């Protein structure tokens, strides 16, 4: 099984930094745990509006289907971070998938 990997991502607008830890699940799928992100500044932080789920106290990106490759999960994490920044700034729903 591949080892966990950390990614530091700066949003396209240059306004924030996010840190993810990518892990391969026993099923073979990939998951992106959210290690660090900016605060939501009063926006709803629930699972549905933020597209985040919790596993053992750690938040991870919720995606509507299994992600099979680490490269795909990295792309999803980048998209999620950019959409999350937009949500923090404007309140516009994330709608990443």
Task: pLDDT band for 80, please (50, 70, 90 cuts).
Answer: very high
Enumerate the β-bridge partners of residue 20.
7, 34
Residue ranges covered by each domain of the chain: 5-90
**pLDDT above 70 for 1:** no
pLDDT at 96 over 80: no
Question: Does this model's pTM top 0.85?
Answer: yes
In this predicted model, what pLDDT tens digit does every residue of 12-34 receive, in sequence order? 999 999 999 999 999 999 999 99
Q: Give per-residue pLDDT as tens, 29-67.
A: 999 999 999 999 999 999 999 999 999 999 999 999 999
Burial status of residue 31 (CB atoms within 10 A of its CB: 0-12, 13-18, 19 or more): buried
């Amino acid at each position: 099984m591949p080892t966990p990997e950390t990614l530091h991502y700066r949003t396209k607008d240059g306004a924030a930094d996010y840190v993810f830890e990518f892990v391969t699940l026993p099923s073979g799928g990939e998951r992106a745990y959210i290690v660090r992100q900016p605060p939501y500044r009063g926006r709803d932080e629930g699972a549905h509006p933020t597209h985040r789920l919790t596993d053992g106290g750690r938040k991870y990106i919720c995606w509507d289907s299994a992600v099979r490759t680490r490269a795909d999960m990295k792309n999803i994490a980048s998209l999620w971070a950019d959409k999350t920044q937009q949500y923090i700034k404007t309140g516009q729903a994330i709608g990443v998938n």
